[in-house]
Copies of this chain bind each other. A is one copy, B any other.
Amino acid sequence: MSKALERRAKNRERLIEAAERSIATGGLAGLKTRDLAGELGIANGAVYNLVDDVDELILRVGSRTLARLDAALTAAERDGPADPPDTLVRIAVGYCDFAADNLELWRALFEHRMAPGKTVPDWAVSEQMDLFGHIYRPLAALFPARSPRELSVTARSLFSAVHGMVALGLEHKLIAVPIEGLRSEVATIVRAMVKGLANARS
């Protein structure tokens, strides 16, 4: 790699890290490329030699958040008995903890909208979809007779339901729940859903 390309790669990484710190502190609304350029000591316009646009910058930060979420869910998966209902409960509580510990970065995953007319690139969609594997695998172990299509629908439903509880619980709007209470509510509801889904077929 030429010196110039090396410098560009390094600056690109510094830019993404600076954007991550900014979002972690002030949310998506606080992200200003001018401030990031100032922090890196580059011209404002030079930001766009490092990333295509603000959407790409936010998606690259999202990619780092998703990688850490993936690691947290993998740890939750392994942190107890392999019994599928227990595993699903641990993953849901792990999701709750990750959201609470990474509030602004986690919110940014859901609040970010591409500029009008642009779609989320395939690499980002695929990173998001990969995370469903954490829910899909225990469900497949629990319901071996169900088709991949059915399991995907159930995985999506479970995720959305848990996400809703966590999002409203951490929102401090309408519904404000202390984190310990939230963790226990999430665990209760996931356990009930899994039990109910198993009974529905028996």
Contacts and interface: CB of A to CB of B under 8 A. Distances in A.
Contacts of A164: 160-165, 167-168
Nearest to A163: B164
Interface residues of A, number: 36
Copies of this chain, whole number: 2
A146 interface: no
Given A160-B168, A165-B160, A175-B160, A153 B185 contact: yes
Given A161-B162, A163-B168, A165-B157, A192 B196 contact: yes
Interface of A: 110, 113, 120, 128, 153, 156-165, 167-169, 173-175, 177, 181, 185-186, 188-189, 191-197, 199-200
8 contacts: A110-B173, A157-B165, A161-B165, A163-B168, A192-B197, A192-B200, A196-B196, A196-B197
